Chain A
Amino acid sequence: MAFNWRTQLQNQVNRDIIGREAFEKLVGSAGIGNDDTVVLYGDNNNWFAAYGFWLFKLYGHQKVHLLNGGRVKWLNEPESPLTKETPNVTPVKYAVAGVYAELRALLPEVLQASARQDRNLVDVRSVDEFTGKIIAPPNLPETAQRAGHIPNAKSIPWSTAVSPDGTFKSPEELNRIYVQEKGVDPAKASIAYCRIGERSSHTWFVLKYLLGIADVKNYDGSWTEYGNLIGAPIDNPSGGSNGAK
């Protein structure tokens, strides 16, 4: 069963996730019932699958998992098959059990977290994006008017959490890196952001489910929202790439 994160998991008119009714329709038409177990996987080390996972959790689906290592790990297992067949599904009635909006950070909360420094604000983009050397990775269309990062954010690129075979590192190793080395305080609430909200979903999953931090939000507006705001404070240590460059 395939979901396209860009065209099916996001509102095609406003910049937003799909609404409750659209989610019900999408999931129900895929033949997924409220009690079904959903396993998500995707490319790019599960960035988009993690975004889907976040959306399923936001809309209260209980039994949802990420396939550790994503599609690439599956592909490189000698015995695991692939098919191009389209599955036959019988649509079912799906009803959102509850909306868990506390999994999502919106701009006012991000501005507050940056100003008060009372939460872990984790920038998961590449170091060059964080330091303002570039606005976005090469050849990616979604960009911003300004480069840099949200003041008081910590730079922990999403790939920090991943082993060479594409799976997540062990919780012990993640704890050593995120908590001991990078200074994420597990007692504090946390917000992860990136450029368009997909890499940050990956780190959101790590912080919440592998490090066990209770209150973790994904700021899906991310840099393409923040870096376009008039008057928002920005740290840009490299001083480069601003404006129309």
Chain B
Amino acid sequence: MIDFICYMSHVTRVYSDIFELLPSEENPTPLVRIRKLNPAPDFKLYAKLEWYNPFGSVKDRAAWGMLRRLEKKGKVGQGHNLVEATSGNTGLSLAAMAIARGYKLRAIVPGRIPGEKKTLLKIVGADLEVLNDDVCPAPGLGEGSINRAKSHAKASPNEYVMPNQYENEENVQAHLTTTGPEIWKQTEGKITHFFAALGTCGTVTGVGRFLKSKNPAAKVIAVVPSEGHDVPGLRNISQLHVTKLFDSTVVDDILEIDYKLAYTRALELCRQEGLLAGPSSGLIFEGAREVAVHTKNGLGVMIFPDNIFKYLSNMRKHHPELETEGFGFFPTP
């Protein structure tokens, strides 16, 4: 028998379970400086690589915060499951965390999302409920999938609880207590600009409140995609009504960026910086670039929410040259 007792250590990076890897001031996600693509030499730009979270994205923070609160209140456990309207990273985080802790996620997803995402959710143990959301856009309350999740939670309160990332203050708290302090410590309090995109708005509100409490002069900049965008997980101004977590008092500026640039910049980050960043990172980077060019001097931190691996079909759509079919570049024997 091998005598090895496992103690959690961020130094040796040995952990007794995956949850010990969740981020904190002592175990922050990395900040990596942008080198070749930085347009203003005196404006240092750092990317916070949120795909280093154990379940692969920035959503680990909100998901963990919401789950921990529900576990403390005894609302989840054997036979008491989660229901959430999510087709993206929150669903992945919630489903993977839930099944490892002995309960499940019922994920309500719109039928139009790519098959890969549905498969990913099933791989991490979610029960899928696919909705046909495309019935003549209705101006009614909220989105079909959110209302469907609410229906389960309301009609079967003993069976389901809905974390509701769009309304749950724990989402904001998670960033107030982890992302914000991490960035403050990592930059030794010298951060001048913080850049994030808007989805549930948990990140921008939580980090924004923390930074403003430390240094009211630090700028919080929200980067949003232009109308008609197809950047997964993000919302532009006209879509913001879905969330109740947006706090405009901590946001200094909202920059609208042509959404196609999200894909172009992501590709450049992959190819020139070695940062395998996804399209939302690309969009945030473009916003930060524009500010860096105008401001010339500062220390900017950008949230890079997740990496490129989930977005291959989106990338092929915007950059047809990435198609692998029909090119004979491989040497024949």
Interface residues of A (CB under 8 A from B): 44-45, 69-70, 72-73, 75-76, 81-84, 125-126, 137-140, 158-159, 162-166, 199
Contacts and interface: CB of A to CB of B under 8 A. Distances in A.
Interface of B: 111, 132, 134-142, 147, 150-151, 154-156, 241
Contact of A137 (B134, B140, B147, B151): B134
B240 to A, nearest CB: 13
Contact of B151 (A82, A138, A140): A82
A76 B150 contact: yes
A163 B139 contact: yes
Nearest to A70: B140
Given A82-B151, A84-B155, A84-B156, A139 B139 contact: no
A34 to B, nearest CB: 31
A45 B140 contact: yes
Given A75-B147, A84-B156, A139-B111, A44 B138 contact: yes
Given A84-B156, A139-B111, A139-B132, A75 B138 contact: no
| For the complex of A and B, 10 pairs with smallest distance between CB atoms | A166-B140, A82-B155, A82-B154, A138-B134, A137-B136, A139-B134, A72-B141, A76-B141, A84-B155, A72-B140
A69 B140 CA distance: 8
24 contacts: A44-B135, A44-B136, A45-B138, A69-B140, A72-B141, A72-B147, A75-B141, A75-B151, A75-B154, A76-B147, A76-B150, A81-B154, A84-B155, A125-B136, A126-B136, A126-B137, A137-B134, A159-B139, A162-B138, A162-B139, A162-B140, A166-B139, A166-B141, A199-B136
Contacts of A70: 140
A107 B132 CA distance: 31
A73 B156 contact: no
B136 A164 contact: no
A237 B136 CA distance: 20
A76 B123 CA distance: 32
B272 to A, nearest CB: 38
A73 B136 contact: no
B139 A76 contact: no
B153 to A, nearest CB: 9
Given A72-B142, A75-B154, A162-B140, 14 more contacts: A70-B140, A72-B140, A72-B147, A75-B147, A82-B151, A139-B111, A139-B134, A140-B135, A159-B138, A159-B139, A164-B141, A166-B138, A166-B140, A199-B136
